[in-house]
Copies of this chain bind each other. A is one copy, B any other.
Amino acid sequence: MQIEFRSDLGAKVLVDVPDERALEDTLRKYGRLGWTSGEVPPGGYPFPYDNFADFDWSLIGARKWTNPEGDVRIIHRGQAYKIRELEAVDSRKMTLPAAVKISRGAKSTDPEHVREKADGEFEYVTLAIFRGGKRQERYALPR
């Protein structure tokens, strides 16, 4: 097996993986260096809500960071994303469970298909959304 990474310097690198069990360890190992594999899916990586608290950000090449003002951010490919808690919605129109959304404001160099419209003219880009689903141990930080 081989994984294709984009290194922190943007280089395309193919890394050998001995077997399937070593796959996620390899993603974690290089993810800690800021390396990523593949693209963020449109609308962001979907993860279960119960995986947020101890999510291992290295799995997607991201990391937690506390800025000088003391706010926690998620850093991914040099961009800082905010952590937003979305309350559950239970109206006549729709029912949505509570979620945690990792997103940032859009920049002029973001391609059209990653921008999502919000109120007014504001556009944002989502890295991940933790909503519903069933907790998966393999997404958790190793203890």
A interface residues (Cβ-Cβ under 8 A, vs B): 1-4, 6-7, 9-17, 23-24, 27, 37-43, 45-46, 59-60, 77-78, 107-111, 113-117
Contacts and interface: CB of A to CB of B under 8 A. Distances in A.
Contacts of A108: 115-117
Contacts of A117: 108
B27 A1 contact: no
B111 A113 contact: yes
Given A110-B42, A110-B113, A1 B15 contact: yes
A12 B17 CA distance: 12
Contact of A1 (B16, B41, B45, B107): B16
Given A1-B14, A1-B15, A13-B23, A107 B38 contact: no
19 contacts: A1-B16, A3-B11, A4-B11, A4-B14, A10-B37, A10-B39, A10-B41, A11-B23, A11-B38, A12-B37, A13-B17, A13-B23, A13-B37, A42-B110, A42-B111, A43-B109, A108-B115, A108-B116, A109-B114
B1 A60 contact: no
Contacts of A15: 1
Top 4 A-B pairs ranked by shortest CB distance? A42-B109, A11-B37, A10-B38, A4-B12
Given A9-B27, A42-B107, 19 more contacts: A1-B13, A1-B15, A2-B14, A4-B14, A9-B38, A9-B45, A10-B37, A10-B41, A10-B45, A11-B27, A11-B37, A11-B38, A12-B38, A42-B110, A108-B115, A108-B116, A109-B115, A110-B113, A111-B113
